[in-house]
A = this chain, B = another copy of it.
Amino acid sequence: MSPYPKHLPADERREATVETVVELAAGQNPSEITTAAIAKRMGLTQGALFRHFPSKDAILQAVMDWVAERLMARLDKAVASHASPLAALEAMFMAHVEFIVEHPGVPRILFGELQRAEETPAKRVAKSLLRSYGERLRALMEQGKQHGELSDDLEVDTAVVLFIGTIQGLVMQSLLAGDVVRMRAQAPAVFAIYRRGIGCAQ
């Protein structure tokens, strides 16, 4: 039995398509990924894709849905397994980094979607993802203040911006070095500086 059967049920083909796009995005600008390239990687003809998606935009939207669902699930799991808010923040940070190392195309897709001019469905999903992300961070930080782990006068919104930016910095560094895996090693030290910035002077 071939590992890639010619005929696949529609839902599996949709899933495979999404994963293929995520993989391709690891190596190139997402907006430059053509339907022909997706099909080729899947061992299909280009036209076959349009049996399962009405348009390319629909593919991109499915990809964003996939990213949002998977990433948030990871983050929630990381948060749930830590009692202290600060520990939960750190776990969330590491989980996000780990997710990017496994799927290096994801930050490109997200950022690429955000800087689209038109308000595409995919862009809306991206925005909504980051909104949920920010809300979870805010909640944890408010808790952290009450627990005395974070300084009382911390501006939570600002700290949220910096949290996301911190990860962006790691991503940019990995683009420069052409080495995604190094993120994993750098992450703890980067978060240590961040934690000191938001923590209370004990």
Contact = CB atoms under 8 A, between A and B. Distances in A.
Interface of A: 27-29, 31-32, 108, 111-112, 114-117, 127, 130-131, 154-155, 158-159, 161-170, 172-173, 175-176, 186, 189-190, 192-198, 201
A193 B201 CA distance: 12
A112 B116 CA distance: 12
A185 to B, nearest CB: 11
B28 A117 contact: yes
A130 B27 CA distance: 21
Contacts of A114: 172, 175-176
29 contacts: A27-B117, A28-B115, A29-B31, A29-B112, A31-B31, A114-B175, A115-B175, A127-B176, A130-B172, A154-B193, A155-B189, A158-B190, A158-B193, A161-B169, A161-B170, A162-B193, A164-B172, A164-B173, A165-B167, A165-B168, A165-B169, A166-B169, A168-B168, A168-B169, A193-B198, A196-B196, A196-B197, A197-B197, A201-B201
Contacts of A159: 193
Given A28-B117, A29-B117, A32-B31, A172 B176 contact: no
Number of copies of chain A assembled together: 2
Contacts of A175: 114-115
Nearest to A123: B175
| Interface secondary structure of A, over-half rule | helix
A161 B173 CA distance: 7
B176 A170 contact: no
Nearest to A30: B115
Given A32-B31, A117-B28, A162 B176 contact: no
Nearest to A158: B189
Contacts of A166: 162, 165-166, 169
B186 A158 contact: yes
A152 to B, nearest CB: 14
Contacts of A198: 193, 197
